[in-house]
Structure 1
Amino acid sequence: GGGGLRAELPPERLQLDWVYGYRGRDSRSNLHVLGSGELVYFIACVVILLHVPRRRQRHYLRHSDCVRCLAVHPDRLRVATGQAAGVDKDGKPLPPVVHIWDSATLVTLQQIGLGSFERGVGSLAFSSADAGAFLCVVDDSNEHMMSVWDCARGTKQAEVKSTNESVLTVEFNPQDSGSIITSGKSHVYFWTWSGATLTKKQGIFGKYKKPKFIQCFVFDAAGDVLTGDSEGNILTWSRCAGEGRKGGKDTYQIGQQRRAHEGSVFALCRRRDGTVLSGGGKDRRLVSWSAALAPLQEAERPERFGAVRTIAEGPGEELLVG
């Protein structure tokens, strides 16, 4: 009869069951395989852990705005995710932050850099030579501030303005945590990190055409660096020992150039067997290369899936393409 509207909330709680989609348009290196066999990737504010055989998803939901980047710790258990700045429901600003979390329990282990980053966290990477003790973060401010953090303590070790150009990716040298590389619009920088100091050397293109963007890179077994760029080339940068004098830093010089794709090279992945995979934008091709960059085989993605944004190696022969 005359029962009015009830003011209290209903007792039922809704729980997220399945999230569709994947942020591939403007993200890179954002699809990984965890030790559990789950795939981890993101869309909007949600980080998704997908178990393909069981067709089951779990969700990390601690971000207050869009997730922009993701890195997996060498233990393949811990995950770091960085978000953009946002506003809460009252319009109060929410600063960008990095969360380090346990992918088995979905428990947040560390909040990194609250109040340190501007606009958003653009890219991040764990070190691997020291079992993932450090995290390098590049923010989306005009100067693209680059900082190194102690993962266990959540403390900043070093910080520097990296460049006014957009930075697309960052990685530690897997053999040497004192060596970090960033690449992006019109640049590849080879950084030396020591204590509280980060110093950079610019990659010099010399006789090779300087590309507008260097979108991706990987380290090969010899410690050389392979970059993929907007000209469709893969360049091999070989490490040269520092000039004889004390404190002379190692430098990198281009050893070879390989035409790989029509349009941009968006993704590079070094496989466990030492071969390298490249993924193209305009041509949607996946190409397998020998360690010496001789083409081995290739495949083309159907047009409806668009460009190859990222490649991850799954169990056995399985490849995952975002």
Structure 2
Amino acid sequence: MDLWQRHQGQFWFPAHFCVLEVVLAPTHGCCGRGESGFPTTSTSGGGQTSRRQEKTSLSFLQQLLYRGYDCRNNLFYTQAAEVVYHVAAVGVIYNRQQHSQRFYLGHDDDILCLAIHPVKDYVATGQVGRDPSIHIWDTQTLKCLSLLKGQHQRGVCALDFSSDGKSLVSVGLDDQHTIVVWDWKKGERQATSRGHKDKIFVVKYNPHHVDKLVTVGIKHIKFWQHTGGGLTSKRGIFGNMGKLETMMCVSYGQMEDMMFSGAANGDVYIWKRNLLLKTIKAHDGPIFAMHALDKGFVTGGKDGIVELWDDIFERCLKTYAIKRPALSPGSKGLLLEDNPSLRAITLGHGHILVGTKNGEILEIDKSGPITLLVQENLFPRSFFVIGTYMDPLLPTANFSPAQSICPLKDYLTATKRCYP
């Protein structure tokens, strides 16, 4: 049997091996502690539990990975031009220039969603769990600014900040997919309402009105108004312009009454308030990601294509196919496959940032070059595991009884050889 397994983007080590740390070594030179070229890592969080320690150990193995297989809209630039995302129970800040990471370790279970503050370098992350928590934390200091609990069950699947940064809206994984509006600084609930019987994928504040928002999901789109201590909603009116589809993403434009949603059939639905005006065929397959630009939009879908559009989706201005030949020489590896499904997309600092279902993060220059920043890889030669083995069947040629270091690939080979 295999003593290790990869499950949903995570590595699980056998019980007889105590992982102390997994580090990314330089691409040249031999392994060993203290060698130059290892990324700088720093961590922050509250008190640790045994569950937390397990998660932390795994996170170091995945320190460059990104959770895209079941999440979306969870990848952003900070104002300091760093990249923020999450994997397992860890919030990750990646510095592109220094190739270094910092970790927020305040969560005690897997993070499912992430939102970034519109003004400051603050991030909100929501996790899975019986009584799931939402953490608002500073990307520079890695300190938790607010901890929100007690309003959701099973998990928090979607988050967004209001345009003034004062409110935060969250969606739960309970049967009604409850929506909660928070005064996050005070840690107080402002309003709550049942969302929808089926899963809600995205909640988005109207950037022009801090009391309006929209939710989209499985056969679902609703337009919400926050009034006093309550939330009221209106369903989308389709008329003869289109039919109800599963909506995967949503974005507002520069006109305050206009809203755009990406559907599972590859169409963009164009709305004025809650009235559907028309639909535009944009992608071959589901549109998972959409982001508003100063003059237009950028979209990404299951077809692995990034598209730049004008401000009313009348013309597609440019397309980028995410393929191996398009990668720049500065990329950190190779794509797992051509045209991977795109799960997150955003714009900042003159670049388009894209996250794929395969756990890759790419940066696209508008002039064309595509750089692979982060890559998921089963056997990266540059990953090294540091720890202590506690099983006599493992060969001492690869591990010493004390704290040891060896290539991850050698460790996996050794365990498979001893336990076929």
* Residues 186 and 210, structure 1, Cα contact 8 Å, conserved in 2: no
Aligned pairs, how many? Answer: 284
Q: Which of 299, 303, 306 matches 2:320?
A: 299
Compared CA separation, residues 257 and 305, structure 1 to 2 (3 A): closer
Give the aligned residue type for 1:267. A
- Report the CA distance between 1:76 and its aligned residue: 3.6
Give yes or no for the alignment of 1:312 onto 2:346.
Answer: yes
| Residue type at the aligned position of 2:342 | V
| Greater mean alpha carbon deviation, residues 47-56 or residues 303-312 | 303-312
1:284 to 259, 280, 304: 304
Please report the RMSD computed on the Cα atoms of aligned residues, expressed in angstroms.
1.5
| Matched residue type, 2:147 | Q
Is 297-306 or 100-109 further displaced after alignment? 297-306
CA separation in 2, counterparts of 1:74 and 1:47?
Answer: 18
Q: CA deviation at 1:174?
A: 0.6
**Equivalence for 1:149:** 182
Q: Give the partner amino acid of 2:154.
A: R
1:238 equivalent in alignment to 2:272: yes
Give the whole-Å Cα distance in 2 for the aligned partners of 1:238 and 1:116.
32
Q: Distance in 1 between matches of 2:117 and 2:221?
A: 24
Amino acid at match of 2:272: S
* Aligned match of 1:46: 90
Supply the distance in 2 between the matched residues of 1:20 and 1:295 (Cα, whole angstroms): 33
Match of 1:243 in 2: none
Partner of 2:140: 104
- Please show how residues 48-127 of structure 1 align to structure 2 within 5 Å: 48-85=92-129, 95-112=131-148, 114-127=149-162
Q: Report whether the alignment pairs 1:255 with 2:277.
A: yes
Q: Distance in 1 between matches of 2:85 and 2:78?
A: 11
Q: Deviations over 1:194-223 (max 9, x none)?
A: 111101100122224435410001101012
Structure 1 residues without counterparts, runs of 5 or longer: 1-12, 86-93, 240-251
- Displacement after TM superposition at 1:288 (Å): 0.8
The one-character-per-residue Cα deviations of 1:39-74 (angstroms, maximum 9, x if unpaired) are: 000111111100011101000001000000001111
Listed as ranges, the matches of 1:151-300 within 5 Å are: 151-223=184-256, 224-239=258-273, 252-272=274-294, 274-281=295-302, 283-293=303-313, 294-300=315-321
Query: Which amino acid in structure 1 is aligned with residue 311 of structure 2?
Result: A
Letter in 2 for 1:280: G
User: Please, which moves more after superposition, 203-212 or 227-236?
Assistant: 203-212
Q: Higher relative contact order by CA 8 Å / sep ≥ 6: 1 or 2?
A: 2
TM-score by structure 1 length?
Answer: 0.85
Equivalent residue for 1:22?
66
TM-score (normalizing by structure 2): 0.65
How far apart are residue 164 of structure 1 and its match?
0.5
State percent identity of aligned pairs: 33
1:256 positional shift: 2.1
Residues 161-185 of structure 1, C-alpha deviations (whole Å, 9 max, x = no match)? 1110110000111111111100000
Tell me which amino acid in the other structure corresponds to 1:238: K
* C-alpha separation in 2, matches of 1:288 and 1:108: 36
Unaligned runs of 5+ in 2: 1-19, 24-40, 42-59, 324-336, 356-420
Letter in 2 for 1:126: F
Q: Which has the higher helix share?
A: 2
Larger radius of gyration: 2
* Compared CA separation, residues 61 and 15, structure 1 to 2 (3 A): farther
Query: In structure 1, what residue type is equivalent to 2:224?
Result: W
Q: CA deviation at 1:15?
A: 9.0
Is it true that 1:136 corresponds to 2:169 in the alignment?
yes
Give the Cα separation in 2 of the matches to 1:227 and 1:270. Answer: 11
Q: Which amino acid aligns with 2:299?
A: S
| Distance in structure 1 (CA, Å) of the matches to 2:278 and 2:135 | 39
Partner SS, residue 343 of structure 2: coil
The one-letter code matched in structure 1 to 2:127 is Q
Determine if contact 1:211/1:229 at 8 Å carries over to the other structure: no
User: How much does 1:102 deviate?
Assistant: 1.1
Q: Does structure 2 conserve the Cα–Cα contact (< 8 Å) formed by 1:211 and 1:231?
A: no
Cα distance in 2 for residues equivalent to 1:22 and 1:211 = 32
Residues 125-153 of structure 1: per-residue CA shift (max 9 Å, x gap): 1101xx21101011000000101010210
Q: Secondary structure at the match of 2:212?
A: strand
Give the 3-state SS of the residue equivalent to 1:189 in structure 2: strand
In 2, Cα distance between equivalents of 1:305 and 1:230: 17
Residue aligning to 1:247: none
Partners of 2:71 and 2:339 in 1: CA distance: 15
